[in-house]
């Protein structure tokens, strides 16, 4: 049989996926975690290195500026010759001293007054004498105003963009400025930070390389793990798969049984509860209508309303009984399978207009010859409740499909209770269909799969053949038949 092998293949695939997917998800989670942690660590290292480097440079700049102010202190603090000419002379001497002080090609001091006019710039002499108060860098920041603001606060650090003398290009710069208040000056120096940025970029590249190398190792581990899981899946014991298959079938059978029990319970509730209450209400309304009609004063409108209500209540009562019967026909439990099938064919024939005939104990339907083995008399056979339910549901599904899809004017249903098994045959003379395509289609073949699974749970089998004008479905269930007096069956159940 192809179905069990197909099911086992699906089960193997599911087991393999249940093993591989969580493993890959765990590896992916570990990889993401490692990447996030390594990235955070690299960022922390970047920030720590940058902060340490800048802190050392800030101390270095402070020392440079202190050295510069110490060099001009004798001129700045001399109280003698406080005339404007004397002050101007000392200022020129101070500027000359500061101009000669440098520390490398890009290390120099600059002097501005507090209004933004350049007083001394050893690397860019063309700026001397110009007012740069409104000078902006490419990002729109007011560079000189930021420096003057830091100086007026008593001194401080400022990060800004300035042309680097050694390259002639703009570069980030860290400056430190202090005021010479009596002269209205701002004295400062700075260091360019592009070297710092390049050093930090190299550190980031090494960190990224380490992260990528770690992720590659995780990928190798993942591939090795998938290989091990695949090998384990290939050597799974066949008996374990069969055991799982059997457990799934038992579970499916339990679900079906639970559904049937719930159908039976709902059917009893509708039949014995709601139906009885509706009958009681109907009797009361009929009594009220009779009193109105016998009364001396007639009210035609009230009588018409009551009559309409009685009609609708009767329709509701019939619908409740129909639903109750569709859920679980009482005749199936009280009189057995043959009586329930006969009632089913009679009702569907009346509803659909299709001529549906029923034969039992081997009597074939007219014009629908179906050779059957010699049966036991139907009255002498008592079938288990599970067999009754399964065969009734299969007949119900098959006849419903005929009514909906076959386009058949006639159909026949026969039941044969023979020694060793029960055979249910449903035939019609409709348009027919492709059996293989119907069984392969996950939507069209759902009813056929349900029939087959119901029969397999009881050890039975389903055969189906179809061509235009002749379609036959046969369901066989093994069963040991007994006499009615020898066993207690569902026919003795109370519907309470």
Q: What pLDDT does residue 442 have?
A: 65
What sign for the dihedral angle of Cα 479, 480, 482, 487? negative
Same domain as 161, residue 36: yes
Q: Domain of 444?
A: 334-486
Same domain as 342, residue 203: no
Q: Which of 209-218, 290-299, 367-376, 474-483 has the lowest mean pLDDT?
A: 367-376
Residue 161 covered by a domain: yes
Instruction: List the CATH number of the domain containing 369.
Output: 3.30.565.10
What sign for the dihedral angle of Cα 99, 105, 109, 114? positive
How far apart CA 287 and CA 282 sit, in angstroms, is: 9
Share of the chain above pLDDT 70, in %: 76
Residue of higher predicted confidence among 136 and 52: 136
Domain boundary among 201, 236, 271: 236
Residue 491 covered by a domain: no
How far apart CA 48 and CA 442 sit, in angstroms, is: 62
Same domain as 258, residue 227: no
Same domain as 477, residue 416: yes
Same domain as 317, residue 355: no
Residue 82 covered by a domain: yes
How far apart CA 73 and CA 379 sit, in angstroms, is: 130
Q: Give the model confidence (pLDDT) of 38-74 as tens digits.
A: 888 878 877 888 788 888 888 989 999 999 999 999 8
Enumerate long-range contacts of 398-405, CB under 8 Å, 24 or more apart: 398/426, 398/451, 398/473, 399/344, 399/345, 399/348, 399/356, 399/426, 400/348, 401/447, 402/354, 402/426, 402/428, 402/430, 403/348, 403/351, 403/352, 403/354, 405/430, 405/433
Per-residue pLDDT, averaged over 18-34, amounts to 79
Q: What is the mean pLDDT of the chain?
A: 78
Same domain as 146, residue 47: yes
The residue to which tokens 């109750």 are assigned = 324
Residue 242 covered by a domain: no
Same domain as 295, residue 350: no
How many domains does the chain fold into? 3
Enumerate long-range contacts of 457-465, CB under 8 Å, 24 or more apart: 457/249, 457/252, 457/253, 457/256, 457/390, 458/386, 458/387, 458/390, 460/390, 460/421, 462/394, 464/435, 465/435
Under a CB-based contact definition with an 8 Å cutoff, are residues 109 and 188 in contact?
yes
Residue 493 covered by a domain: no
Kindly list the strands in the beta sheet with 118-120, ordered across the sheet, starting from the edge strand earlier in the chain.
Answer: 118-120, 109-113, 185-192, 170-180, 156-163
Does residue 492 have a pLDDT over 50?
Answer: no
Q: What pLDDT does residue 491 have?
A: 37
Residue 494 covered by a domain: no
Same domain as 145, residue 107: yes
Q: What pLDDT does residue 132 have?
A: 93
Instruction: List the CATH number of the domain containing 74.
Output: 3.30.450.20
Does residue 157 have a pLDDT over 90?
Answer: yes
Under a CB-based contact definition with an 8 Å cutoff, are residues 395 and 426 in contact?
yes
Pairing of strands 170-180, 156-163: antiparallel
Share of the chain above pLDDT 90, in %: 18
The 3-class secondary structure across the chain, one letter per residue, is: CHHHHHHHHHHHHHHHHHHHHHHHHHHHHHHHHHHHHHHHHHHHHHHHHHHHHHHHHHHHHHHHHHHHHHHHHHHHHCCCCCCHHHHHHHHHHHHHHHHHCECCCCCEEEEEECCCEEEECCCCHHHCCCECCCCECCCCCEHHHHHHHHHHCCCEEEEEEEECCCCCCEEEEEEEEEEEHHHCEEEEEEEECHHHHHHHHHHHHHHHHHHHHHHHHHHHHHHHHHHHHHHHHHCCCHHHHHHHHHHHHHHHHHHHHHHHHHHHHHHHHHHHHHHHHHHHHHHHHHHHHHHHHHCCCCCHHHHHHHHHHHHHHHHHHHHHHHHHHHHCCHHHHHCCHHHHHHHHHHHHHHHHCCEEEEEECCCCECCECCCCCCCCCHHHCECCHHHHHHHHHHHHHHHHHHHHHHCCCEEEEEEEEECEEEEEEEEECCCCCCHHHHHHCCCCCHHHHHHHHHHHHCCCEEEEEEECCEEEEEEEEEECCECHHHCCCHHHCCCC
Same domain as 425, residue 359: yes
Does residue 187 have a pLDDT over 90?
Answer: yes
Q: Give the model confidence (pLDDT) of 234-273 as tens digits.
A: 766 556 666 666 676 667 666 666 666 666 666 666 666 6
The residue to which tokens 């009685």 are assigned = 310
Domain boundary among 328, 359, 389: 328
Does residue 150 have a pLDDT over 90?
Answer: yes
Same domain as 341, residue 303: no
Q: What pLDDT does residue 367 have?
A: 41
Residue 31 covered by a domain: yes
Residue 288 covered by a domain: yes
Burial class (CB in 10 A: 0-12, 13-18, 19+), 417: buried
Same domain as 458, residue 351: yes
Same domain as 400, residue 299: no
Under a CB-based contact definition with an 8 Å cutoff, are residues 61 and 86 in contact?
no
Does residue 377 have a pLDDT over 50?
Answer: no
Domain boundary among 328, 360, 382: 328
């Amino acid at each position: 049989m192809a179905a069990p092998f197909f099911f086992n293949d699906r089960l193997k695939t599911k087991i393999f996926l249940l093993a591989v997917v969580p493993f890959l998800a765990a590896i992916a989670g570990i990889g993401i975690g490692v990447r996030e942690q390594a990235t955070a660590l690299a960022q922390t290292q970047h920030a720590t290195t940058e902060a340490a480097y800048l802190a050392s440079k800030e101390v270095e700049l402070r020392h440079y500026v202190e050295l510069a102010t110490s060099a001009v202190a004798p001129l700045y603090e001399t109280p003698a010759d406080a005339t404007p000419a004397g002050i101007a002379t000392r200022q020129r001497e101070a500027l000359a001293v500061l101009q000669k002080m440098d520390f490398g090609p890009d290390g120099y001091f600059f002097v501005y007054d507090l209004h933004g006019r350049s007083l001394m710039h050893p690397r860019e002499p063309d700026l001397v004498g110009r007012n740069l108060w409104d000078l902006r860098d490419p990002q729109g920041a007011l560079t000189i105003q930021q420096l003057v603001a830091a100086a007026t606060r008593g001194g401080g650090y400022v990060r800004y963009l300035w042309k680097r003398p050694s390259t002639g290009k703009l570069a980030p710069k860290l400056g430190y400025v202090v005021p010479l208040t009596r002269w209205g000056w701002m004295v400062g120096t700075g260091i360019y930070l592009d070297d710092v940025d390049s050093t930090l970029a190299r550190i980031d590249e090494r960190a990224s390389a380490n992260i990528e190398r770690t992720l590659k190792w995780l990928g190798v581990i993942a591939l090795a793990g998938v290989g091990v899981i695949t090998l384990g899946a290939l050597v799974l014991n066949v008996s374990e798969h069969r055991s799982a298959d059997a457990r799934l079938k038992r579970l499916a059978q339990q679900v079906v049984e639970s559904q049937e029990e719930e159908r039976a319970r709902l059917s009893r509730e509708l039949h014995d509860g709601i139906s009885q209450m509706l009958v009681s209400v109907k009797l009361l309304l009929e009594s009220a209508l009779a009193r109105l009609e016998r009364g001396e004063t007639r009210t035609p409108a009230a009588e018409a309303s009551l009559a309409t209500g009685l009609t609708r209540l009767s329709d509701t009562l019939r619908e409740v009984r129909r639903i109750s019967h569709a859920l679980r026909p009482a005749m199936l439990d009280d009189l057995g399978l043959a009586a329930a099938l006969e009632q089913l064919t009679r009702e569907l024939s009346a509803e659909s207009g299709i001529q549906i005939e029923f034969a039992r104990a081997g009597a074939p339907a007219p014009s629908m010859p179906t050779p059957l083995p010699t049966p036991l008399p139907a009255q002498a056979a008592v079938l288990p409740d599970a067999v009754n339910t399964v065969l009734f549901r299969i007949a119900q599904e098959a006849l419903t499909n005929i009514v909906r899809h076959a386009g058949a004017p006639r159909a026949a249903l026969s039941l044969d209770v023979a020694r060793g098994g029960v055979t249910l045959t449903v035939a019609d003379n409709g348009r027919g269909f492709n059996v293989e395509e119907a069984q392969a289609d996950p939507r069209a073949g759902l009813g056929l799969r349900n029939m087959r699974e119901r029969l397999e749970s009881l050890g039975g089998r389903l055969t189906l053949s179809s061509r235009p004008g002749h379609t036959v479905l046969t369901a066989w269930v093994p069963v040991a038949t007994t006499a009615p007096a020898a066993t207690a069956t569902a026919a003795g159940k109370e519907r309470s």
